Amino acid sequence: MPSAPAFPVLASPLARASGPHFLQRHLWLPLLATLAASGVLMGLQGDQWLADQFYRLEGHHWALQNAWVTSHLVHKGGKWASTLAALVAILLCTHAWRSKRAAAWRWPMLYLVLAVGLGTGAVSLLKSLTNMDCPWDLTRYGGLREFVGLFSSRPHDMSRGICFPAGHSSAGFAWVGLYFFALMVRPAWRWRGLAVGLVAGGVFGLAQQLRGAHFASHDLWTLATCWLIALALYGVIQPLQVRALTARRALPQGEAA
């Protein structure tokens, strides 16, 4: 007797993209934590304090700006690793939509591809709209510009800044979408998926801070942007997955295979 097709887990309440408890855990609490941390970093100059420590430890210049580990291994290598992972996800998504045997993975894989693409894309768009400098551009850290806050008026003769939020760490933080991907296929793995995105983005972000390329708040808002994109997309795609799998389960076994 042929075995029944394996479908992703849907019964767990964790997989439902609605309800006050889901929104409290996944929207309101993260948003409040982001605003509180942002208040410390941007409002109370925690950004400058952290950058001061890195700058002092590196001998009052950005000694790691062009170091092999931070510049080549983490910055360039990390970007290529994330790009390769995204290409693999695209190939798996394409296979799922072309193969009936992998039909149960169609919406989860499409979700993951879109979460990574839209997360990094949204950060790039925000960078083009905001107007903040990198630490290495500031006179406090050997640069030529004075610090101008996110909502402060920028002098007309000062060229644009394109450092907020952090672009490179988005290549890691965009993978927090693995948390919601796991909710769609195997909820027990959700924390592992979240850890992948947080560790990758954290390593990328720290390397850039050590190079003088970003303040901590830049990475904080990159993470927040990627998380919000992933959450909103989950709210759109997860009901479509439920509908598709429910329809497939209603078919005779031979037709669903």
| 2, pLDDT greater than 90 | no
- Domain segments of the chain: what residues? 19-149+160-250
User: What does the pLDDT look like over 48-87, one tens digit per residue?
Assistant: 999 999 999 999 999 999 999 999 999 999 999 999 999 9
Instruction: Name 142's Cβ contacts closer than 8 Å, sequence gap at least 6.
Output: 60, 61, 62, 136
Q: What is the pLDDT of residue 246?
A: 81
Residue 134's pLDDT band (cuts 50, 70, 90): very high
Sign, CA dihedral 222-227-228-230, equals positive
Q: What is the pLDDT of residue 4?
A: 41
| 14, pLDDT greater than 60 | no
| 156, pLDDT greater than 70 | yes
User: What does the pLDDT look like over 90-124, one tens digit per residue?
Assistant: 999 999 999 999 999 999 999 999 999 999 999 99
Q: Measuring CA to CA, how many Å separate 160 from each of 28, 89, 145, 149?
A: 33, 35, 11, 13
Sign, CA dihedral 32-34-37-39, equals negative
Q: For residues 16 and 87, what is the distance between their CA atoms, to the nearest angstrom?
A: 28
CA 169 to chain centroid, in Å, comes to 8
Contact indicator for 119, 225 with CB cutoff of 8 Å? yes
Q: For residues 108 and 88, what is the distance between their CA atoms, to the nearest angstrom?
A: 14
Q: For residues 117 and 174, what is the distance between their CA atoms, to the nearest angstrom?
A: 8
User: What does the pLDDT look like over 157-215, one tens digit per residue?
Assistant: 888 899 999 999 999 999 999 999 999 999 999 999 999 999 999 999 999 999 999 99
Q: Of 196, 216, 189, 195, which Cα lies nearest the Cα of 205?
A: 216
Residue 10's pLDDT band (cuts 50, 70, 90): very low
Burial of 128 (0-12, 13-18, 19+ CB in 10 A): exposed
